[in-house]
């Protein structure tokens, strides 16, 4: 992955984390009512160049793991899906044309849940 593309994907990952931290309902569903940045691990991050007849950008796929102590992980995934679509995500030199949660798995663990979330985004160069 080229450095500039990697930088955009890393910035997108940071912005997704901030979307989560800014929403008290999502933080509650995750089990983080203090609205600190929840424990999110980027399991994988892939970016590929994308172009149309008039635009140039990148397609990004991020696989995130969110460790959750919340009682309703399905609500957390649904809420994240809605929040990402509505979010005003700012990236230097790019804008987010599309973003969506395209997959999610919830695994029980001894103290809560582990949410595996796949987010795909299309960013376009300004």
**What CATH number is given to the structural domain containing 62?**
3.30.2000.30
42, with CB counted inside 10 A (0-12, 13-18, 19+), is middle
* Cβ neighbours of residue 88 closer than 8 Å, sequence gap 6 or more: none
Mean pLDDT of 88-95: 91
Q: How far apart are CA 84 and CA 62, in angstroms?
A: 13
58, with CB counted inside 10 A (0-12, 13-18, 19+), is buried
**Quick check: 1 pLDDT over 50?**
no
Mean pLDDT estimate for the chain: 86
Q: How far apart are CA 31 and CA 70, in angstroms?
A: 4
pTM for the structure as a whole: 0.86
The pLDDT tens digits of the residues spanning 10-46 come to: 899 999 988 988 888 888 788 766 656 667 889 999 9
Q: How far apart are CA 48 and CA 2, in angstroms?
A: 9
Least confident of 13-17, 30-34, 49-53, 117-121: 30-34
Range of the domain at 51: 3-125
| Domains held by the chain: number | 1
């Amino acid at each position: 992955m080229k450095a500039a593309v990697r930088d955009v994907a890393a910035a997108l990952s940071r912005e997704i984390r901030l979307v989560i931290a800014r929403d008290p309902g999502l933080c509650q569903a995750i089990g983080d009512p203090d609205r600190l940045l929840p424990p999110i691990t980027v399991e994988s991050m892939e970016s590929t160049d994308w172009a149309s007849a008039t635009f140039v950008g990148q397609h990004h796929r991020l696989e995130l793991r969110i460790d959750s102590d919340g009682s309703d992980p399905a609500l957390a995934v649904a809420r994240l899906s809605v929040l990402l679509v509505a979010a005003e995500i700012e990236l230097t030199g790019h804008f987010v044309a599309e973003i969506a949660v395209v997959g999610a798995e919830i695994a029980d663990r001894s103290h809560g849940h582990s949410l595996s979330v796949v987010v795909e985004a299309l960013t376009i160069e300004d």
